[in-house]
Amino acid sequence: MSVVVVGTVAFDSIETPSGFAERVLGGSASYFAVAASFFSPVKIVGVIGEDFPEEHLAIFSRHGVDLEGLRRENGETFHWRGRYHEDLNVRDTVELHLNVLAGFRPRLPESYRDAEYVFLGNIDPVMQMEVLNQLRRIRLVACDTMDHWIQGSGDELRRVMGKIGMLIINDSEARLLSGEHNIVRAARAILKMGPKVVLIKRGEYGVLQFSDSSMFATPAYPLEEVFDPTGAGDSFAGGFLGHLARSRDHSQSGLRRAIVYGSVVASFTVEDFGLKRLTNLSLAEIEERYRRFTDLTNFHT
Ligand code: AMP
């Protein structure tokens, strides 16, 4: 079952305590697409500039990602520069150039419109809504957002929230969106805004899942070294939704398995800069770490 993703396809310049990378392939849609492609076919909606190289497009093609909805416009590609603190859960945006993303109007090719699984990556909620309005057979919509949109486009975001099944969001953003500091209260408040399920990402501390009737917690897979946390959240979302689109099992245990697959994929992403590790990853490695993860969290023995 195909997954449609809308989000940024970017050049990222990243500085972490382990080193730096200049203008590497990044963006929420890029991480999501490669992560989800291990489980399901993916279709990208997004925009790139004239400067976007063929070798980056080849990475998507190698992962079978459909690029018909990725438009090339005159101008430069979206560029983000970020710097991480010693505490890798904290990062600063040093530069943000929207470039061709400014004024982008997503238009879905006919071949995308019957997709049942959708990820609205972190972009302007107006664009997220435009994508939703073009889909005919939605089974599940998951959505991400960030402080910038919560503060600047609250009304539009509220409208999107009324139409989605799941929100996948950072803990600090969940607090900002709900006005509640306690994370359980924050999740309860967000559930009242529309989504049936809220997934709260807590960086190296893992993920919490809330619905009206259930709660589930997983750690992040413990690693000795994290090189670059960029894209962990989008890789989590990709592994999660990609797996769910494959299994089509929306039961509580199906959701839990998908959450662990998402966490496993994200744990690979942070092992190297940008998309490097994800693009050298095999399904066998994912399955092996999934087994280790099961072992790690098993207390029934
Ligand atoms: P994550 O680390 O999963 O939260 O996402 C990192 C990705 O988000 C990077 O590859 C950036 O290109 C992208 N990004 C950073 N700032 C923004 C923004 N304001 N809007 C959309 N995407 C962004």
Residue 301: per-residue pLDDT = 75
Q: Residue 114: helix, strand or coil by DSSP? A: coil
Q: Is residue 97 part of a domain?
A: yes
When pLDDT is averaged across residues 248-265 and rounded to a whole number, the result is: 97
Q: For residue range 218-249, what is the model confidence (pLDDT) as tens digits? A: 999 999 999 999 999 999 999 999 999 999 99
Residue 1: per-residue pLDDT = 84
Q: How far is the CA of 298 from the centre of ligand 1 (A)?
A: 33
Q: Is residue 67 part of a domain?
A: yes
Q: How far is the CA of 300 from the centre of ligand 1 (A)?
A: 39
Q: Domain total for the chain? A: 1
Taking a C-beta distance cutoff of 8 angstroms, is the pair 47, 254 a contact?
A: no
Ligand 1 atom, smallest distance to 91 CA: 2
* Residue 166: half-sphere exposure toward Cβ, Cα within 13 Å: 25
Ligand 1 pocket test, candidate residues 16, 28, 173, most atoms within 8 A of CB: 28
When pLDDT is averaged across residues 83-98 and rounded to a whole number, the result is: 94
Residue 132: per-residue pLDDT = 97
The answer on pLDDT for 209 being more than 80 is yes
Residue 48: per-residue pLDDT = 98
Residue 89: per-residue pLDDT = 87
Ligand 1 atom, smallest distance to 237 CA: 3
Cα–Cα dist 267/163, whole Å:
30
Ligand 1 atom 11, closest CA: 27
Q: How far is the CA of 278 from the centre of ligand 1 (A)?
A: 17
Taking a C-beta distance cutoff of 8 angstroms, is the pair 109, 132 a contact?
A: no
Residue 14: per-residue pLDDT = 97
Please state the length of the chain: 301
The answer to whether residue 66 is catalytic is no
Q: Is residue 301 part of a domain?
A: no
Q: How far is the CA of 93 from the centre of ligand 1 (A)?
A: 9
Which residues' Cβ are closer than 6 Å to ligand 1?
8, 10, 12, 26-28, 80, 96, 122-123, 148, 230-234
Q: Is residue 71 part of a domain?
A: yes
The answer on pLDDT for 265 being more than 90 is yes
Q: Is residue 138 part of a domain?
A: yes
Model pTM above 0.75:
yes
Ligand 1 pocket test, candidate residues 32, 122, 169, 228, most atoms within 8 A of CB: 122
Catalytic residue among 12, 114, 234, 249: 234
Q: Residue 283: helix, strand or coil by DSSP? A: helix
Dihedral sign (CA 47, 52, 53, 59): negative
Ligand 1 atom 10, closest CA: 27
Residue 23: per-residue pLDDT = 97
Indicate the pairing of strand 91-97 with strand 19-26. Answer: unpaired
Q: Is residue 179 part of a domain?
A: yes
Residue 77: per-residue pLDDT = 98
When pLDDT is averaged across residues 241-270 and rounded to a whole number, the result is: 98
Ligand 1 atom 6, closest CA: 231
Burial of residue 103 (CB within 10 Å: 0-12, 13-18, 19+) is exposed
The boundaries of the domain holding residue 110 are: 3-296
Residue 300: per-residue pLDDT = 85
pLDDT mean across residues, the chain? 97
Q: For residue range 107-160, what is the model confidence (pLDDT) as tens digits? A: 999 999 999 999 999 999 999 999 999 999 999 999 999 999 999 999 999 999
When pLDDT is averaged across residues 90-98 and rounded to a whole number, the result is: 94
Q: Is residue 95 part of a domain?
A: yes
Q: Residue 129 sits in a domain of what CATH number?
A: 3.40.1190.20
The single-letter code of the amino acid at 214 is: S
Q: Is residue 87 part of a domain?
A: yes
Q: For residue range 35-70, what is the model confidence (pLDDT) as tens digits? A: 999 999 999 999 999 999 999 999 999 999 999 999
Ligand 1 atom, smallest distance to 80 CA: 12
Residue 224: per-residue pLDDT = 94
